[in-house]
Structure 1
Amino acid sequence: MDKVVKEMKKKLPVGIQSFEVIRTEGYYYVDKTPFVRKLVDEGKFYFLARPRRFGKSLFLDTLKQAFLGRRELFEGLYLEKHWDWSVQYPVIHISFGAGVVEGINDLIDSIFFILERNQENLGINCKSTRNYKNCLHELIIRAAEKFSQKVVVLIDEYDKPILDRIEDRETALAIREKLKNLYSVLKDADPYLKLVFITGVSKFSKVSLFSGLNNLKDLTLHPEFATICGYTQEELETVFAERLKDLDLEEIRRWYNGYNFLGPPVYNPFDILLCLDSGLFRPYWFETGTPTFLIKLLVENRFFIPDLEHLQAGDEILESFDVDSIAPETLLFQTGYLTIDFVERASGMTIYTLRYPNLEVKTAFTRHLLDYLVRNRREREKNLIRLYRIFQKNDLQALRDLFHAFFASIPHDWYRKSEIQNYEGYYASIFYAYFSALGLQVKVGDPTSHGRLDMAVEFEDRCYLFEFKVVELEPEGRALETLRNRGYHEKYLDRFREVYLIGVEFSRTERNIVTFEWERMK
């Protein structure tokens, strides 16, 4: 098959995302260059946060080549006829994307290496060789003087050194202060700057990293820039029509579309290009990094995992975070594991309801959650296969036995160290994680006229309604009774051939299921 993703390896700086199709000896472009023109016309200092592998670096490359005046790279694109190609600007490109920062000394070495490369590219030798802040400031001033043009500063993965050491609070704080010192140059260098564009995964507060840059325009949740990275459905179907002929378009949408930044939903370009190349549906984006720290944070905070289906947060949670204050909701959104479902604005506040963006993220994230909780990936996979066979056969006794055996297999010592048996949502979260990891349709807290159902799981033409209880909190035998009395099943009867009520009760003392009852309603 054609090497559709060749461009991803070469990072050709054109049109933000493009790839070469060898058979046609040409290029297919998703043209994002109108955003370049818009940025220059409307401001000077910009910030954009997007999840990893979302095209941020390619967009910076596009900006760089435009300001360097490389018109030949933009033939046929919007910017070709909407840019002054007679003017070339000096560009300083700072990227922390390569490697992992181990500590302060490693960070300082990286900064000096990056600055030295920029000096070589600009033909400038800075006199400030011991202080990286002064070196950057001098480089900006001397570049503006040498080329008689204001300078463009592009900063990619500005936050990565901090995120590399986020689990080591003391080191992360020290790195943050060094970066703050570096970025503070931008305020004083304002008279010499044409444009500054900063990208990263997370959004640290201006106070902690960009003190003084009050005119920094945040594009992260700006509706007019919602599609600056990623592919819209229209772009996918128009530009890649030839490549989509033999693929199920609805399945592609279900697997990879759904990221919402207050505009049309977009695809992660990394995912879709690899899918077009192989024709296989796989968690490509997820395989490039695992959210171990995030999952650890959720478990330590005793987060009720099923709430990830409809998590609510306000502006203060989504806007920024810092090393001293890391809210799971903020990290989940900014790293791309959750996205915006809808927004409510009332009484001077904004409420964001979050959800998984697509099937890839939901299934892969819950599988990694199981890996963390189970500590045995092979056993997890065996259980998932068994679970699928159980649903195929509709064997509810086997369903009970599978989960009972799973909880019984967790070593006593692990409970002692984590005290997770006191986390009441833990047991229900395991059920949810297994069902979601299998790719089943799972609804949590589904509202009915009688209240909210704990969990509904759909498999083909059957629906299973779950009620979870802890016997230390309520008398044993109430779970199934609650389902019957509240009539949760009524809204499902017309939609499914079979509907089952399943009451599951746990004991924190026994650390396992003590009651598992079911009843068919249709």
Structure 2
Amino acid sequence: MNKRKLPIGVSNFQELIQGDYLFCDKTAMLGEFLSKGDKVTLITRPRRWGKTLNISMLQHFFASEVNGIRTAGLFDDLEIGRLEDGRYIREHQGKYPVIMLSFKDVNSDSFQGAYNAVYELILKVYSAYPYLFSSDKINELQVEQLYVIRKRQANQQKLESSLELLSQCLYQHHGKKVYILIDEYDTPLNKAYGNKEYLDAMVAFMRNLFSAALKDNATLERGVLTGILRVSKDSMLSGLNNLKTYTLLDQGYSSHFGLSEVEVQDLFTQQNLSTCMHAVKSWYNGYRVGDLVMYNPWSIIYCLSEEGRCDLYWVNTGNNDLIKQLIFSSNDSLKAQFEQLMQGEALTVPVDKHLAFDLLDRDETALWSLLLFAGYLTFQTSNLSLDSDLYDCVVEIPNHEIHRLYNRFFKEWLSSKFVNRGAYNAFLEHLVVGSVALFVQELSFFLRQSVSCFDTQFSRKSEGFYHGFVLAMLASLRITHYVKSNRESGLGRYDLLLIPKKEGLKAILLEFKQVRKEEELESSARLALDQIQTQAYHSELVQYPHVKEVVECGIAFSGKSVLVAYSIYDLVRKQYGAIVLTNRYCQEAY
């Protein structure tokens, strides 16, 4: 069986169908769409999840021609043609004027630049209907307004009503109401994040543009928007009281974006690939959409193009700096929650379907919502809160690809504090082999170099360092060690435990203490070590018989000074070694 072409970079539906590309038939979405009564529909999904292709599918279904090419017959042999004996095609295919525009390339550093890009986009849309300028069904005033837009003479108010004007003219010419399809509606806000003046101006402009076209527009048949986020109801979409939203939490359209396991297996079979589906599943599955669990479609297509080799495909398609920045600048409580996620645990967080861009760096709910809806987390369960409009979601990292992205974040944070990669690797090596004095020497250097990347208040630097350090250990050592933090063992909870996966290395148990004065470092370090020993934190290691010894370290911080008291515990003989104390110069004192 010959392999079919893979549709990498193909987002035009007609090209996909007629170009003999490998594809998964999602035209049943049209039947679901037509069976619903929403006047305006917003569907949110992560980037590269088929939104643009499905918008193109809607355009080709309702329009009689696209880019001068007839659409008749395009859907006859597809799933929509088999639903209800072809009724949807007979009644709707090619029957409507359609306005389609995508904001995916509106990506400017200023409002004026974004405004100009939107103007060019609208001019491109207008150019698809040259016949309107000479139509005898459109009055003289409307034709004049069309020319004002086309000649780039429109002010902002005129431009904000340009889609409404176009829909009115199309309706009058064709005698049929208009479908308005808008792809990636929220992209213009991405660049505006962090610039209040730009953000406020962009929100106001887009709100007026959408409201004029989609609210109380008598010539509108139906409208569809796609994007990554449902921007706050008091923001860009506040003018649309006729909007029905379908997010990852909702059942509607859940099977039409992303790929099911059956669909993925069929695609691999069609390409004659015998790739282990267990590996593909662990790398790219795990996204819950409504009641379904779906695969990331972009990563699957790229995996197919690489003959079934798993790699980081989706995470490298966009700029992840905003996500990294928000995590690094978050509070200690949120970082502690990330420690749970990095250890494969799930946790319950509040999620808001309506995201406020201006609260991303100040509101935990906004951050969790962004991570979920943008595809950096998934949810196991979702329930409406008893006392608010938020949802209580049990979230987790969806798959190996996303986990590796977080690994990259935290490795970069830690390694950037060292002179070079070699110093960073030496730091890790000294830790895992139990060379405490050398490890503490590197740790002291790290603290002196580190500014408040994780914390903005100097008085909280040591506490913030602890959370950052744990996350970095989870990212850097999980291949060779089981990295566990804040777990119950013996009579209490330890801070950090590194358990080697292979025989021959010692386990490392760390307990952190923060003190105000350097004079308190020694007593605090001893106290931390005593806590480890009296609470028998090493008890958990009984489950790992290949581990014979554990280095137990009490680490005390004061600003950028660090001192450690440590001892080696023999798990076989159940004996403690001598207590060794480093001094403030990171040398072993006794």
The two structures have a TM-score, normalised by structure 1, of 0.84
Asked whether the 8 Å contact 1:91–1:153 carries over to 2, the reply is yes
- Could you say if the C-alpha distance between residues 419 and 348 of structure 1 is closer, same or farther in structure 2, counting changes exceeding 3 Å? closer
1:276 aligns with 2:304: yes
Q: Which residue of 2 aligns with 1:355?
A: 396
Counterpart pick for 1:295 among 301, 310, 324: 324
SS state at 1:203 partner = coil
- Could you say if the C-alpha distance between residues 402 and 248 of structure 1 is closer, same or farther in structure 2, counting changes exceeding 3 Å? farther
Counterpart mapping for 1:441-480 below 5 A = 442=483, 444-446=485-487, 454-455=495-496, 460=501, 466-472=509-515, 475-479=524-528
Letter of the 2:24 counterpart:
V
Q: Which residue of 1 aligns with 2:577?
A: none
Measure how far apart 1:409 and its partner are: 4.0
Report the more deviating stretch, 232-241 or 111-120. 232-241
Measure how far apart 1:520 and its partner are: 5.9
1:97 aligns with 2:104: yes
- Could you say if the C-alpha distance between residues 247 and 492 of structure 1 is closer, same or farther in structure 2, counting changes exceeding 3 Å? farther
1:405 aligns with 2:442: yes
Measure how far apart 1:263 and its partner are: 2.4
Q: Which residue of 2 aligns with 1:307?
A: 337
Q: Which residue of 2 aligns with 1:30?
A: 24
Report the more deviating stretch, 426-435 or 446-455. 446-455
Counterpart mapping for 1:244-283 below 5 A = 245-278=273-306, 279-283=308-312
Report the more deviating stretch, 34-43 or 187-196. 187-196
Letter of the 1:151 counterpart:
V
Q: Which residue of 1 aligns with 2:82?
A: 81
Q: Which residue of 1 aligns with 2:8?
A: 8
SS state at 1:218 partner = strand
Counterpart pick for 1:323 among 328, 342, 358: 358
Letter of the 1:323 counterpart:
D
Letter of the 1:36 counterpart:
L
Report the more deviating stretch, 470-479 or 428-437. 470-479
- Could you say if the C-alpha distance between residues 425 and 233 of structure 1 is closer, same or farther in structure 2, counting changes exceeding 3 Å? farther
Measure how far apart 1:242 and its partner are: 4.5
Asked whether the 8 Å contact 1:223–1:261 carries over to 2, the reply is yes
CA–CA distance in 1 between the matches of 2:17 and 2:464?
46
Counterpart pick for 1:507 among 557, 565, 579: 557
- Could you say if the C-alpha distance between residues 353 and 122 of structure 1 is closer, same or farther in structure 2, counting changes exceeding 3 Å? same
The unaligned stretches of length 5 or more in structure 1 are none
CA RMSD of aligned residues (A): 3.7
Letter of the 1:368 counterpart:
F
Report the more deviating stretch, 400-409 or 151-160. 400-409
CA deviation string 1:322-364 (max 9, x = no partner): 3255532233223222221334567456421222221221222
- Could you say if the C-alpha distance between residues 437 and 321 of structure 1 is closer, same or farther in structure 2, counting changes exceeding 3 Å? farther
CA–CA distance in 2 between the matches of 1:353 and 1:381?
39
Number of equivalenced pairs: 510
- Could you say if the C-alpha distance between residues 443 and 321 of structure 1 is closer, same or farther in structure 2, counting changes exceeding 3 Å? farther
Asked whether the 8 Å contact 1:306–1:444 carries over to 2, the reply is no
SS state at 1:178 partner = helix
Measure how far apart 1:109 and its partner are: 1.4
- Could you say if the C-alpha distance between residues 402 and 503 of structure 1 is closer, same or farther in structure 2, counting changes exceeding 3 Å? closer
Report the more deviating stretch, 67-76 or 400-409. 400-409
Measure how far apart 1:175 and its partner are: 1.2
Q: Which residue of 1 aligns with 2:129?
A: 122
Letter of the 1:498 counterpart:
V
Q: Among the aligned pairs, what percent are the same residue? A: 20
Letter of the 2:513 counterpart:
V
The unaligned stretches of length 5 or more in structure 2 are 65-70, 134-145, 517-522, 573-590
Asked whether the 8 Å contact 2:381–2:393 carries over to 1, the reply is yes
CA deviation string 1:15-47 (max 9, x = no partner): 9xx799xxxx95433222222211121123111
Asked whether the 8 Å contact 1:384–1:434 carries over to 2, the reply is no
- Could you say if the C-alpha distance between residues 105 and 479 of structure 1 is closer, same or farther in structure 2, counting changes exceeding 3 Å? same
Counterpart mapping for 1:118-517 below 5 A = 118-123=125-130, 124-125=132-133, 126-127=146-147, 129=149, 130=154, 131-220=158-247, 221-243=249-271, 245-278=273-306, 279-303=308-332, 304-308=334-338, 309=341, 310-315=346-351, 317-324=352-359, 326=361, 327=363, 328-343=367-382, 347-348=386-387, 350-372=391-413, 374-375=415-416, 379=420, 383=424, 387=428, 395-397=433-435, 401=438, 405=442, 408-409=445-446, 412=449, 414=451, 422-423=460-461, 424-437=463-476, 440=479, 442=483, 444-446=485-487, 454-455=495-496, 460=501, 466-472=509-515, 475-479=524-528, 481-483=530-532, 486=535, 493-494=542-543, 497-498=546-547, 502-503=552-553, 505-512=555-562, 514-515=564-565
CA–CA distance in 1 between the matches of 2:486 and 2:27?
43
The two structures have a TM-score, normalised by structure 2, of 0.75
